[in-house]
Structure 1
Amino acid sequence: MDLMEAAVYAWLLGTLVGFVFFLWIRIANNKLDHHSSMVQVALTISCAYASFLIAEGLLHISGVLSTVAASLVLAHRMWPEVVSRDTMHTIWHMFEFLGNNIIFFLAGALTGEIMLRTPFMDYIHLFSIYMALMVIRTVFILISRPALRLLSTEWQPVPVADALVISFGGLRGAVGLALAIQVSISGAGGEVSQDDADRVLFYVGGVALLTLAVNATLCPSLVRLLGVAQTPEVKVRLMCLLHKQLRGQLSKFPCSGEALRAIEGMLLDVQEHHCGGQRASAAISLHDAGLQRHRVSRMFKSFHKPAADISAGLDLAEALELAAERLRQAPERQQAFMRRHLS
């Protein structure tokens, strides 16, 4: 069995195992039983081990690829059936943290030993491989922009600047290192010499180190240079108009005390993050504005003020959420809104 066949079989096996465990998770979807959440978490953990052990122990194909395929199936299908999302997220975030630390520790320990006996020419090859990967990934992302457009809810084309950030910001981590460690230890089932297996781990570990040290460090500067984090001018102007209208409505509500200060703080937040010109951050953009209602709701409820104050604050927050939702409509609607209100 060649490498390509083994990879295809691993993906097929992982997909099958993922669907089987998805059906079990659906069966365990009993929201009236608090044990159901623990059963579902145990099933997801069992899915990871089952896909790996069946692939490696029985079929002698890649267990890592099989586990990745099974996890993708669960991630796509299982969430409507999960009893407690918080429990699932908390436990798997812990496993993710522990797994990443273990893999990087093993990779560092094994690669450190290999580095002591690696010839200088392999270091030259490592930098060449790193540069080639950056170029290949950039070209692949750029030519895939029509396909990436299908992933957008509004079918908007991916800007070239965004594609460059995606290419440069893609870090190589745990999955590649896990495969390289497995090849280094087992020698790909005896088909690869130990020297070649160690060289694979050296290259993969070196590329992971370079992406973490170079790409992760320079990515914020690249984002600022390309202006990816800038809020579009049309959205800035619309949010400024919204801010003006909300301030005009503020005098109509009988708010006082802490409720009044909370509303003022919300308006100042809109002005700071959405009316600050081209320097406004996309990380705190219209989506966050739509979430202001929930934050303001919690603030007002914590004040224990009269219902009139709470209702007034929630009305303003509802208006903010509605306006932010309208701003997420198609660009032609944004332009029409500007022609009506900003001309």
Structure 2
Amino acid sequence: MTAGALAAAGVDVALAASAGDGIEASLIDLVAVFVIAGGVGVFVSKVGHFPYTIALLVAGFAVSVASSVAVGPNEILGEIVLTHDVILLVLLPPLLFEGAATTDVEEFESNLPIILLLAIVGLVASIAFVGVAAHWLFTGLGLVSGDEFTLLVSLLFATTVLPTDPVSVLALFEEIGVPERLSVLVEGESLINDGVAVVIFTTLYALLENERSLEYLLAPENFGAVLVELVYTSLGGAVVGFVAGYAVYSVMRDLDEHMTEIVLTIILAYGSFLLAEHYLHVSGVIATVVAGLLIGNRGAEYAMSAQTKLSVFNTWETGAFIVNTFIFVVIGAKTPVTDIVGNAELLVPAIGIVLVGRALAVYPLTTAANRFVRNDVDLRNQHVLVWGGLHGSIPIALVLGVQESVVPFAPQLRVLVFGVAAFSLIGQGLTMKPLIERLGIVTTTEEDELYQLLVGRARAVDAALEAAERLHDRGRIPDSVFEQFQTEYRVEKDDLNRAIGRLLAEHPDIRDRERLVGERQVLKREQSALKDAELSGVISTEIADALLEEVNIKLDRVQSGESTVTRDRDEEGYREFWRERASDHGLLDADLDGEDGDTDRGTGAE
């Protein structure tokens, strides 16, 4: 072997060793992250009454301070590099997908007008206010140079910092029993405004890259083109998410293999994001959200067995927990605490401006929306929406994508965004529970919890009976064992039904609420059946429209808290128009024609 060959081999060995050392160091840092998380978890479980994600962030801050004081900035966990692409491409899709999949699509649809108003109009209004106010205040007070912190850069700052991250708030909502509607409003707004913010950020950043001015953007011909691009990107992402989600749903519907179905959902979460963002150049965030909504609701209802539902949702819950654990620890550890303290004169007014911008979007828009929706968002809930608008992973991801060669103000921008995020997650996050309790929003009572316990166990028993029957049909368990299972679980089911019946009789408010929930789900099934009948040619479009109009009338009444059914078997709560048609042709006797029902209803078709 020649000397040159030996030297080349030595270089290869050295490079391999170096690469191995890098991987080993990265793994050590990764283990260190989860050691910190484990310690925080033990602390929270012992102490209690402290949000886990916020505790993780505080622990990360401690690491950041220790690193700066002891060994220098970013030396601890130095092998873990938090970048724009790592957050957006690796960490964000599973969080978006899990959040969307666990959102009740019916509740989401019923609150969609307010969600869209806050997530789109509210976000744009907040960006405009925060951008203009920050530029005027910072430059007017001489805190920054107007040449570096232009109005366009200030708008980029606003777009970067304003997307919401409700992880900590939603965990608190679940713990203390906040109404489902408020949780859906907070999470729904976050899911959509994340996607809209990314689209606006991309547009503003492209202007800065191409050295365009704000006047260029505001020119009528350019502004129209940008607006069309924003709409195309957003709607395109929704279409990609729906198509990808429906494709996976179609496969899962004819499949009963829970491990494979878990893999399919993982492919969908990342695949829809990458397909939209990097191949079709539309919103990957919105694509993943739509795909998650479809699989988590229609997919769970029609394409998953009980075993698959349990496996899929447990997997995603665990995955989201691990990703959030990593994000909060690393964000805390990478937060430049000393730089934040050194830039307090910028950060304090920035926090105030962001909070005012949030308030100016929520209060006027929800007040205006209350004129047009049946269920108002009252002032107490508006307070929670304002204070619960925490800022986390999306702002961090966006600001890490800002290059100093494009935006010379980028270092200070990172300090501002990290600082605002830290304040919102810790300051607002820790004060959410006292605020909610003071406002008297918590509605979960002991009776509610007991009802949930009984219903949850009843569902588990139903699933057990179904599984036992399936195993028996496949010859997996003998007749004698199957009979024992049936006897045991049926006795328990009878006891549960009696307990639930007595509880509902003693607490009619729970009964009425659950009746409306069930009625809404049944009416949604009616809608789906009518659409399927129309598509398959069983009924004409005219008949389908008439029947759907009637179902929609019922849904509107249910949404306003009015049931369309009664407990009296001899009286109908809603008289459907088909009865008149049938009576006109002599197909129904008068005493069977629901005469005692509400005869002014059901006039959706003549």
> TM-score scaled by structure 1?
0.61
CA shift in 2, pair 1:298/1:127, >3 Å? same
Q: In the alignment, residue 208 of structure 1 is paired with which amino acid? A: A
Higher relative contact order (CA 8 A, sep 6+): 2
Divergent runs of 4+, >4 A: 4-10, 54-59, 115-119, 146-152, 295-302, 307-313, 327-333
- 1:133 and 2:376 aligned: no
Decide which of 393, 397, 420 is 1:207's aligned counterpart: 420
1:336 match: none
1:139: Cα distance to partner? 2.9
Q: Distance in 2 between matches of 1:321 and 1:17?
A: 44
Work out whether residues 141 and 163 of structure 1, in 8 Å CA contact, stay in contact via their aligned partners in 2. Answer: yes
**Who is 2:293 aligned against?**
76
Q: How many Å separate the matches in 1 of 2:310 and 2:417?
A: 34
Judged with a 3 Å threshold, the aligned counterparts in structure 2 of structure 1 residues 131 and 110 are, in CA distance, closer, same or farther, namely same
2:266 aligned residue: 45
Shift of 1:100: 2.2
Residues 14, 68 of structure 1: 8 Å contact kept: yes
Contact conserved, 1:145 with 1:158, CA < 8 A, in 2? yes
Superposition map of 1:300-319 within 5 A: 311=494, 314-319=497-502
Matches within 5 A, 1:51-200: 51-54=272-275, 57=278, 66-78=283-295, 79-82=297-300, 83=304, 84-112=308-336, 115-116=337-338, 120=342, 122-145=343-366, 155-183=374-402, 187=403, 191-193=406-408, 196-200=409-413
Gaps of 5+ in 2: 1-201, 205-225, 463-484, 517-559, 564-606
> What is the CA distance between 1:68 and its match in structure 2?
2.1
Whether contact under 8 Å (2:245, 2:294) holds in the other structure is yes
Superposition CA RMSD, Å = 4.1
State the Cα deviation string for residues 270-291 of structure 1 (Å, max 9, x = none). Answer: xxxxxxxxxxxx1337754543
**2:255 matches 1:16:** no
* Pairwise CA distance, 1:116: 4.4
Rounded to whole Å, the distance in 1 between the matches of 2:455 and 2:369 is: 32
Is the contact between residue 269 and residue 291 of structure 2 (CA under 8 Å) also seen in structure 1?
A: no
State how 1:318-333 maps to structure 2 within 5 Å: 318-321=501-504, 323=508, 324-326=510-512
1:168 positional shift:
0.9
8 Å CA contact 2:272, 2:287 repeated in 1: yes
Alpha-carbon shift at residue 132 of structure 1 (Å): 1.8
Contact map agreement 1:172 1:207 (CA 8 A) in 2: yes
- Greater alpha carbon shift after TM alignment, 4-13 vs 18-27: 4-13
1:325 aligned partner, one-letter code: R
Aligned AA (2:351):
Y
Identity over aligned pairs, percent: 23
Aligned pair count?
263
Q: Distance in 1 between matches of 2:294 and 2:461?
A: 37
The structure with the larger Rg is 2
* AA aligned opposite 1:315: R
Contact between 2:504 and 2:511, CA under 8 Å: does it hold in 1? yes
Q: Is the 8 A contact 1:177 1:204 kept in 2?
A: yes
Once the two structures are TM-superposed, the CA of residue 210 in structure 1 deviates from its matched residue by 0.6
